[in-house]
Amino acid sequence: MDLILKPVAHYHGPFGSKFGIPRQSLLAAVEGRIVFTPEFRVREALRGLDGFSHLWLIWGFSANRETKGEWQPTVRPPRLGGNTSIGVWATRSPYRPNPLGLSCVELVRIDDMELIVKGADLLDGTPIYDIKPYIKYADSHPDADSAFAEKAPEHKMEVVIPESIPLSPEDREILTGILSLDPRPAYQDKPGREYGITYKGEDIRFRVENGCLTVISKDKLL
Amino acid sequence: MDLILKPVAHYHGPFGSKFGIPRQSLLAAVEGRIVFTPEFRVREALRGLDGFSHLWLIWGFSANRETKGEWQPTVRPPRLGGNTSIGVWATRSPYRPNPLGLSCVELVRIDDMELIVKGADLLDGTPIYDIKPYIKYADSHPDADSAFAEKAPEHKMEVVIPESIPLSPEDREILTGILSLDPRPAYQDKPGREYGITYKGEDIRFRVENGCLTVISKDKLL
């Protein structure tokens, strides 16, 4: 019995490419907005939500799946270096039979009918299919075993953003954090090659050499 | 952009009616099985899953939605006595725009191709659309504020299951736990009226009087 979902909202945040987005709500400082679609823009539906500090978002990977079609039973998670093959059910990979993502975010405030949230690992424009309150006694299991995902990914790159690149102190800090996680695809380590991520509508270009990531330029996307 | 999901598995457990199922994984002792549909019965897809103690299930409320059609912006959660109206996004109610449920379960073991899990608040036969590993650093927030759902529901009924009702000690304990939560619909308190829940294919009948719930009979469902 198939189930048809329609988006109830969309996420709007600074990340605008599939490349370089930190997984699993790592960047607590990154703020975004949840904007309801017209049909679900109903004030009463938010009653009581402000009592919760955290929310679950169930969202669609549609924007960053490169391929559709057949599912693959195994994936190669970036955090295992891209060389180890793991069953899809043991990962949060986008390449799963039903392309649903699950993220816990902090609810900062409700601004008119928009939810301002922090820590979402979602691309700008991501469709959201459900929003649920985080219920501590059922959802928080600090003693859980999480196998190879036991610890948050480590910052593994030295990052240099020259002063000549114009950035606010806050954006500089956020970008340094993202880039230190090494946002290149796991399979790639080509010294001298130029890579890019999209942040707040701008193309941030960088190179990696000897474990040091250097930002080269920042330009408005057309 | 609508998203079409197909079940990847079904849950099989002791609860066989929409009535009386404990919400939010309360009954840690209740065991069930996750059985993949033929298309997704692929051993490699489970590789590495046994390293995780807990899993997320994203499942469909289809089996226990009484009404389909229009969504309602507010619901009256049973735990608030059924009299207080709360926005649907602030609840885990089934009556939401996309009928998705989210539950954390304990992975007990993998038995051939079936996942044996504990603590699922799901009806027998519930379709499962996604299974994800519980990732502690991203999912566990012991300091979260959960408003009116801050604490697990309290056991509020004295329960009497006469010795004449044949039950194993384990089933007796589980049923006493479920019934002590008062599985009647929140709006109903009719002394002397008979209610029923389905447990392991049997109709468990009971009455409530003066805060005491007494089991009357237990019979195989036809």
Is there a contact between B116 and B106 (Cβ–Cβ < 8 Å)?
Answer: no
How far apart, in whole angstroms, are the C-alpha atoms of residue A27 and residue A106?
Answer: 11
- Give the residue from chain A lying closest to B100, CA to CA: A130
Only one residue has tokens 């829940």, namely: B197
- Do β-strands A100-111 and B100-111 pair in parallel, antiparallel, or remain unpaired? unpaired
Output the DSSP codes for A114-146.
Answer: EEEEE-----TT-EEEEEEE--HHHH--TT--B
B176-to-B122, B205, B219 alpha-carbon distances in Å? 18, 13, 17
Q: Where are the domains of chain A?
A: 9-139, 158-220
Closest CA to B159 of B185, B177, B171, B146: B177
CB count within 10 Å of CB A133 equals: 27
Between CA B109 and CA B91, with CA B8 as vertex, the angle to 5 degrees is 85
Q: Number of CB pairs < 8 Å for A and B?
A: 262
Q: State the smallest CA–CA distance between residue A111 and chain B in angstroms.
A: 15
Closest CA to B9 of B36, B46, B44, B49: B36
How far apart, in whole angstroms, are the C-alpha atoms of residue A57 and residue A74?
Answer: 25
Choose which CATH entry (2.40.30.70, 1.10.3720.10, 1.10.10.60, 3.40.190.10) describes domain B9-139. Answer: 2.40.30.70
Contacts with B164 (C-beta within 8 Å, 6 or more apart), sequence order: none
Q: What is the pLDDT of residues A123-135, one digit of tens each?
A: 999 999 999 999 9
Is there a contact between B137 and B149 (Cβ–Cβ < 8 Å)?
Answer: no
Tell me which of B41, B44, B89 to substitute to probe the interface with A (most A C-beta atoms closer than 10 Å).
Answer: B89
Q: Per-residue pLDDT tens, chain B, 222 aa: give them.
A: 789 999 999 999 998 875 666 665 456 678 999 999 999 999 999 999 999 999 999 999 875 555 556 788 999 887 777 788 999 999 998 889 999 999 999 999 999 999 999 999 899 999 999 999 999 999 999 999 988 787 777 777 899 999 999 999 999 988 898 888 888 876 666 777 899 888 998 999 999 988 899 999 999 887
Q: Is the pLDDT of residue A157 over 90?
A: no
Output the DSSP codes for A146-160.
Answer: BGGGSSPPPP--EEE
> According to DSSP H, which parts of A18-104 are helical?
none
Taking contacts as CB-CB distances below 8 angstroms, the residues of chain A near B3 are 4-6, 60, 62, 98-99, 127, 129
CA A130, distance to chain mean position in Å, is 17
Structure tokens at B59: 């499942």
Taking contacts as CB-CB distances below 8 angstroms, the residues of chain A near B141 are 53-54, 104, 134, 136, 139-140
Which has the higher per-residue pLDDT, A186 or B87?
Answer: B87
